[in-house]
Structure 1
């Protein structure tokens, strides 16, 4: 029992320490909590906070000029020792050491002290607004990083899906090329687009890493896996850019700091002018020393005096100091005007971006929806042979770009809201965050002076689409009239020997298809001319070996030709048609019966292998009494 009792303090301490650590290491989950962490612990904000608190102590230093000063003044003399350690002059003893208590009180210093206290009060307010500016700017930078993290997480998912789709289509096209039913150039195009999809995926992941590092720099830790969408973007804004600018002129911390700097410099001018006036001080002295023989000397008497110091000439230094401070005042006014201009630019551009992006996002959404519908239509057309795999790749790439554009517009709109609220000095409040322990500064009348800044915003650019269309020149389009062909009234002459006949060419195409369908390699090869060369990079020999291998592989070939059209040009002919090709493989499924026979109830199950639908053209030449294939092309 004693051992258990001795462990109780340790258990209690460990438990409290664990709870304390858990509270400190609690993960930030909301944007409000993260912003409070940023404005309370970020080093850039902390620098401004310490400058603000230091300015308060600097003012307290000057306030000490109102109070009396007490000093003990000690002196020691070494002189010739005459007559027992005293030098007698008219019977007065001069001691070797002396101690005095001196009290001084400033009575009048030309109002230098009150003006300096007032100047430092305004200087402290300058530091306060600089702190507010640092909080707004750091919050804006963090919010933009936060929004970009949301952005690139979503774009990375889009890039992943885009890569998978391109890879799947690439593999399908490669199968068709390897089967000899597609052109090699199609595979090259698919390979190039696959490489682009891989590059896009790498770009998005790199961007995501960069914005994550930005969040970590500002927040001090990595962002959580789940981030909420910012709610401040749903807040109301002023109905016009001029009204938005008026709000900014009343609360933008950069502008307010320059106004306070003007007030501080005006007080500094008065402080410098105090040197033109006399200074009065009340001084009291109490001599604490005695002579060496123990008798009080005449220098030990108490003293109370009023002193005046009035400078008559100081080498024009005081005048130069006043002139220097007046130039500082001009500089402060110029900085105030610059702050007005900068604030106007930031607020009006952000306000216009919000207006434009709100309209733009509607068109982006419409574009995305239209491309998605076209993508689905292309897929259906591909199923019936009216589109190729490259057509599907085109629509997939356009759909990917449409989704990216819509997402970027959404997040750009969020950033525009953040820039507007930061320009108005309200971003931290809009998010609902606050720095604990920071006092509220009383708003003075001179801050709201109507002459500080003129709230005049640029007129937004609007496009009158109806007027543009009305002024546009009509398109110069020539409509081609379709002429109905006239019927032949004269009988055709009998075809000469070897002349092109659509019926004969069609029969030869059917023979070619039958040999392919029946896997008759010899009959299949005989349908090709000796001049036939496959699409590069295959040679004739390699192509024949490839065809022989595939025709000898297991599985049933299903081949159907439709819409065969033949055109004749002397001893040359072209046959175009739609080809549906597939391979059916069979698998034997064994099942034991009651007598234990595992093949008695066996079933042959058909499984589909490679399949495709293409439009094809065969170019033929009449040679040695037969029509032979010169070229075999897959139409796009």
Structure 2
């Protein structure tokens, strides 16, 4: 291989850098900023906004006087006393006319135009938000279909390996040929599904190309950091009522129609005009017997409207205002219904996400175990095929859930007119962990906060007798048997089961109320994604006829966070059942071994 000369190395480095930049993932905000203003809908809304601003200029001009200049140049043949006369006339006149009263119709017309301009501006914001959502949806759809196809291809590869194994067994006469037909049926089903997904991906890529003006290359799963107020539905409804571009446009149009009523009412009043006219110059040859050479005239005229035209115009304006207000009220109800539905869907999608990840990891373990069992003759081919299809179904559900979360979140923000701002300030790439889309068993814990340390003094040192700490005594003590179930409920995120281990009068310590502790634990367990709790070195001591203390080492891991603490749980018998009445951390948590930005 020929080595490039030193002079060419900078150029080669630049080319490689540009190539690397070209293969980098295109973040969603970059795509939106690049193509949003080029959309025809945006250009149309911008043109309508300029037209609304021009209407304001027209309405303002009604307050200014009207200046008139006239020039007359005529050649005529007159007859004076029976004698024909050829006469030439050159005349210059100037006039100034100003309306000084018309029932404030001009003022209301200006207000109507201003409200119309505000409505057009809100329409532009709405178009921008809607197109941003459409781009987000198209972007997410391409990513979703590509990930689903990759998962299905991996399933087909596994089925091909199984089919080859089955074919060898059929040839050896170890299993019937029907088993080979079974695996072929599974393959054909998945190949047909792959074709459907390929067609859907082609449509999604074409839609993305129409919106973005370029091919969808190197896209990465998008995500938006959750707003702290996202869970408060009432606050979200109020925010959308205040900021929704659609509602704002409807309300501004209703206000414009109300101003039109004032315009119509102005037609009932007399119109008072002030006019000033002056003849500047007059040349007539030959001069007629009498003519005006110079003149100045000031005139006030009053026009009084008659007939039913103005009454009909007022009735029409009132009816149009009522219709516009009804449309605004109808839109408010529609947006509120959409918001409530989308909000509940988003909460359900985000709440089920940890379970879907657990489903995938469990399906990976089952598929791997069934593959080994099939090799050993302990599982049938049908069992193995079902396990492999279940793994694909779990991965597909996880991919669909991620896409559903971002599209629902984007639609909610779009309703509030906040999607563009959120993409600029809260965007983050959130690709699904590759191991979750693989076939090998994977059992990590995603980012989650550990149990908070209770700031309480360490429990007094207890001399644990040998009988209480022996395996026989520990196994026979109810709290010792429950400690693993307590850790299991915590790991599973089952708050109901977890809370059942604690007494009703449990005191959290550090001055916190029981309700505050319950709310915090409920949130922590819900946000935790597959935490792992390992209990070691359990020591038991009976502190009374109805009380027992357990000391143990707790190893907690969640994603890239780990800590090890020594903990004490005090148990008391209440109504024949053992309950935790106190919980104390005896040692400060160890510093996390690694910290990275948590997954959403």
Q: Deviation at 1:105? A: 1.9
Gaps of 5+ in 1: 1-24, 434-463, 467-636
Note the C-alpha offset of 1:28. 9.2
Aligned partners of 1:159 and 1:204 also within 8 Å: no
2:297 is matched with 304
Partner residue of 1:69?
Answer: 66
CA distance in 2, matches of 1:302, 1:465: 99
Between the aligned partners of 1:40 and 1:64, the Cα distance in structure 2 is 32
1:297/1:237 CA distance change after superposition, 3 Å = farther
Q: Could you say if the C-alpha distance between residues 320 and 191 of structure 1 is closer, same or farther in structure 2, counting changes exceeding 3 Å? A: same
Cα distance change on mapping 1:83 and 1:390 into 2, 3 Å: same
Say if 2:389 is the partner of 1:392. no
Shift of the 326–56 alpha-carbon distance from structure 1 to 2, 3 Å rule, reads: same
Distance 1:289 1:310, change over 3 A: same
Q: Within 5 Å, which residues of 2 pair with 1:568-587?
A: none
Are 2:264 and 1:272 aligned? yes
TM-score where L is the length of structure 2: 0.63
In structure 2, stretches of 5+ residues that fail to align are: 1-21, 426-494, 498-600
Picking from 181, 185, 191, the partner of 1:192 is 185
State the secondary structure of the residue aligned to 2:367: helix
Per-residue displacement from partner, 1:279-320 (whole Å, max 9, x unpaired)? Answer: 222222232332213689643332332332322413x01100
Segment drifting more, 244-253 vs 353-362? 353-362
Give the match's secondary structure for 1:363.
Answer: helix
Which residue is equivalent to 1:56? 53
Counterpart position of 1:252: 244
> Which residue of the partner structure matches residue 204 of structure 1?
197
Structure 1 position 102, deviation (Å): 2.2
Does residue 361 (structure 1) correspond to residue 353 (structure 2)? The answer is yes
2:423 paired with 1:431: yes
Contact 1:283-1:306 within 8 A present in 2 as well: yes
Aligned residue in 2 for 1:127: 120
Contact 2:87–2:286, Cα closer than 8 Å, also in 1: no
Q: Which residue of 1 aligns with 2:254?
A: 262
Q: Distance in 2 between matches of 1:310 and 1:206?
A: 71
Structure 1's 29 and 402: CA in aligned 2 closer, same or farther, altered over 3 A? Answer: closer
Deviation at 1:97, TM superposition (A): 5.6
Distance in structure 2 (CA, Å) of the matches to 1:301 and 1:277: 36
Residue correspondence of structure 1 range 8-407 to structure 2 within 5 A: 29-75=26-72, 80-83=77-80, 96=89, 98-225=91-218, 227-287=219-279, 288-293=281-286, 298-314=291-307, 316-407=308-399
Task: Look up the SS of the partner of 1:224 in the other structure.
Answer: coil
| Equivalent residue number for residue 524 of structure 2 | none
Aligned length: 408
Partners of 1:368 and 1:38 in 2: CA distance: 37
Give me the whole-angstrom Cα distance separating, in 1, the residues matched to 2:333 and 2:159: 50
Q: TM-score, normalised by structure 1?
A: 0.60
Instruction: Report deviation, 1:324.
Output: 0.6
Are the counterparts in 2 of residues 136 and 428 from structure 1 also a CA contact under 8 Å? yes
> SS at 1:300's partner residue?
coil
CA root-mean-square deviation? 3.0
* CA–CA distance in structure 2, aligned partners of residues 300 and 69 of structure 1: 24
Instruction: Please report how far the alpha carbon of residue 86 of structure 1 lies from its aligned counterpart in structure 2 after TM superposition.
Output: 8.8
Contact map agreement 2:278 2:296 (CA 8 A) in 1: yes
Judged with a 3 Å threshold, the aligned counterparts in structure 2 of structure 1 residues 170 and 54 are, in CA distance, closer, same or farther, namely: same
CA shift in 2, pair 1:229/1:237, >3 Å:
farther
Distance 2:130 2:336 in 1: 16
Relative to structure 1, is the Cα distance of residues 215 and 148 closer, same or farther in structure 2, using a 3 angstrom cutoff? same
**Contact 2:25–2:220 under 8 Å retained in 1:** no
Matched-pair contact (CA < 8 Å) for 2:68–2:94? yes
Shift of the alpha carbon at 1:358?
Answer: 1.8
Q: Show the counterpart of 1:445.
A: none
Range with greater deviation from structure 2 (230-239 or 181-190): 230-239
Distance in 1 of aligned mates of 2:379 and 2:320? 75
1:144-172 Cα deviation digits (max 9, x unpaired): 11111221121111111112122222233
The residue number in structure 2 matching 1:597 is none
Q: Would the aligned equivalents of 2:267 and 2:305 in 1 still touch at CA under 8 Å? A: no
> Is the contact between residue 88 and residue 286 of structure 2 (CA under 8 Å) also seen in structure 1?
no
User: Which string of whole-angstrom CA distances, capped at 9 and with x for unpartnered residues, describes residues 95-125 of structure 1?
Assistant: 7564422222222222111211111010000
